Amino acid sequence: MTSTPDPAPPAGNLDPAIAARLKRGADGLVPAIAQQYDTGEVLMLGWMDDEALHRTLTTGRCTYWSRSRQEYWVKGDTSGHIQRVKSVALDCDADTVLVKVDQTGAACHTGDRTCFDADVLPLLDQ
């Protein structure tokens, strides 16, 4: 079985050394996990392309790509629930970004602190 190579990095402002390491999905995106820097609380999952990652690294504010709206959005620009970036790391496969942030207000668009507050699944007996 042959594997399909990752798509070529899109042209943009992201440091070429970082862009060369990223393993993107077929849509050119990588998942970006936002985590509260001091408590370890997982806040949300968003999507980034090279430009969103570049903006996140250079502005200190999380920028994501909205798959539904097909546009960039900076967390907190409309809600006031800002994510101030403390650090950014790639996972061992370079296919996921972990952004440690200082979250102001709710991270979830529903108004919950995290996107993982409302629907905790029961563990089945093992």
Per the annotation, does 93 bind a ligand? yes
Per the annotation, does 62 bind a ligand? no
Per the annotation, does 115 bind a ligand? yes
Per the annotation, does 6 bind a ligand? no
Long-range contacts of 40-47 (CB under 8 A, 24+ apart): 41/113, 41/114, 42/114, 42/116, 43/83, 43/101, 43/103, 43/107, 43/108, 43/113, 43/114, 43/115, 44/107, 44/108, 44/114, 44/115, 45/115, 46/75
Binding annotation for Mg(2+): 91, 93, 95
Binding annotation: 91-93, 95, 108, 115
Binding annotation for Zn(2+): 92, 108, 115
